[in-house]
Amino acid sequence: MNILQLRNHIPISGPARREPADGTESDMRVSLGFEPAWFYKRCGVNFTEKWHKDPFYRYESLIKMKKELCQRFPSVSYWNEDNKDDLATISGCYGAYVIPMVCGFPLVYEKDKWPEIDKNKEKFSVKEIEKLDIDKILSNPFTEEIFRQMDVIEAEWGKVHGYLNWQGVLNNAFHLRGENIFTDFYDKPDLAHHFFSTVSDLMIKLAQKIQKRQRNSGFYVNHFCVSNCTVNMVSPQIYREFLLPYDKKIAESGFERFGMHTCNWDVTPYLEEIRKLPKVGYLDMGIMSDMKKVKRMFPEARRAVMYSPVRLQEASLNEIKEDIEKIYNELSPCDIVMADIQATTSDKRVNELLRICKDLEMQKKE
């Protein structure tokens, strides 16, 4: 079976997502992303509720942000001021909390941060989980708000660009149920399975509904990348029993491409389970992972390393070079996912990282 790859994509001012690979990817492709405070400090963009719900305001803010990026990092080719398509977008809307938002969890917005779930909102009880109705969720005002934005974008600009952040089954369950989800594995296993089944069905149906709407507007999107940031909080055995079936269900639900984001953690203990998933076209990890093993086990996937923004800012240049050379020797061709770059990180340091990766690619060609 021909596996279709995804590559890392970080929308301007949004959390990291994935997009279809097109064969032009370099061996050490760097995917840059900056925290909202970076743009607030340099461009004065305010990320309160208006940014997430007003396509016109978001469009104008993205013009400013893209201009700033192009000026500061001229060697990066995927930011192009002449390309306006990625300005009329739903990327970044509601941050990482699309599923909690449509489930009625209010978000708290700030001028220089991504939104967070309101801490005063109580997590789902057992009875609330048992009563969850996907059809009601798909027709509630929170879901209608997303489609209203897409209607506005299509009427004004045509294509509805963008990649919403669907998260993963455990991530969403944790947001909705809180830390109780981790004891449910042992105390209420049937409830955990019921909840994961419901959450995964909601993720699939809402993603398919929104992506179909986007395709009808002329923007082609037909993939799903599960975000398993919380996977390192459970054992490989728990993953196999409680989460693998639902990741598999998502992978087999009709999306053309499928990938897995595991965050900046050690993916090694979970590789045997992940390999059971069909058509894995993207897999990322932390640098502490057994990258040689990943490359052997997933030769057809676009692989990626989530590089620490704290290390980018605080490590010496020689230490960063050693890290990048290790990644190059053990995992390439791959992406370097340089997400969440802090507002205090110098442009010089970011450009130095870009140069290190480019130099390694040039050495290979010689």
Alpha-carbon span 47 to 65, nearest angstrom: 12
Query: How far, rounded to the nearest angstrom, does the alpha carbon of residue 139 sit from its chain's CA centroid?
Result: 25
Q: How does pLDDT run across 284-339, given as a tens digit for each residue?
A: 999 999 999 999 999 999 999 999 999 999 999 999 999 999 999 999 999 999 99
Q: Examine residue 310 and state whether it is found in any structural domain, yes or no.
A: yes
Question: Quick one: residue 295, left, alpha or beta (phi over 0 = left, psi -120 to 50 = alpha)?
Answer: alpha
Predicted pLDDT of residue 339? 98
Q: Examine residue 54 and state whether it is found in any structural domain, yes or no.
A: yes
Predicted pLDDT of residue 363? 84
Alpha-carbon span 297 to 281, nearest angstrom: 12
| Higher local confidence (pLDDT), 364 or 202 | 202
Q: Examine residue 146 and state whether it is found in any structural domain, yes or no.
A: yes
Q: Which residues contact 302 (CB under 8 A, 6 or more apart)?
A: 5, 6, 7, 21, 25, 259, 281, 282, 283, 333, 334, 335
**284 has which bridge partners?**
304
Question: How many Cβ atoms sit within 10 Å of the Cβ of residue 308?
Answer: 17
CATH of the domain at 209: 3.20.20.210
Residue 165 sits in which domain range? Answer: 6-365
Predicted pLDDT of residue 365? 65
Q: Examine residue 332 and state whether it is found in any structural domain, yes or no.
A: yes
Predicted pLDDT of residue 2? 82
Q: Examine residue 106 and state whether it is found in any structural domain, yes or no.
A: yes
Whether residue 1 has pLDDT greater than 70: no
Q: Examine residue 1 and state whether it is found in any structural domain, yes or no.
A: no
Q: Examine residue 240 and state whether it is found in any structural domain, yes or no.
A: yes
In this prediction, residues 106-124 reach a mean pLDDT of 98
Contact 88, 151 (CB under 8 A): no
What's the domain count of the chain?
A: 1
Whether residue 364 has pLDDT greater than 80: no
% pLDDT > 90, the chain? 98
Contact 134, 202 (CB under 8 A): yes
pLDDT band at 209 (very low <50, low <70, confident <90, very high): very high
Predicted pLDDT of residue 366? 59
pTM of structure: 0.96
Average pLDDT, the chain: 97
Whether residue 169 has pLDDT greater than 90: yes
pLDDT band at 187 (very low <50, low <70, confident <90, very high): very high
In this prediction, residues 334-358 reach a mean pLDDT of 98
Predicted pLDDT of residue 237? 98
Q: How does pLDDT run across 125-166, given as a tens digit for each residue?
A: 999 999 999 999 999 999 999 999 999 999 999 999 999 999
Whether residue 62 has pLDDT greater than 70: yes
Q: Examine residue 187 and state whether it is found in any structural domain, yes or no.
A: yes
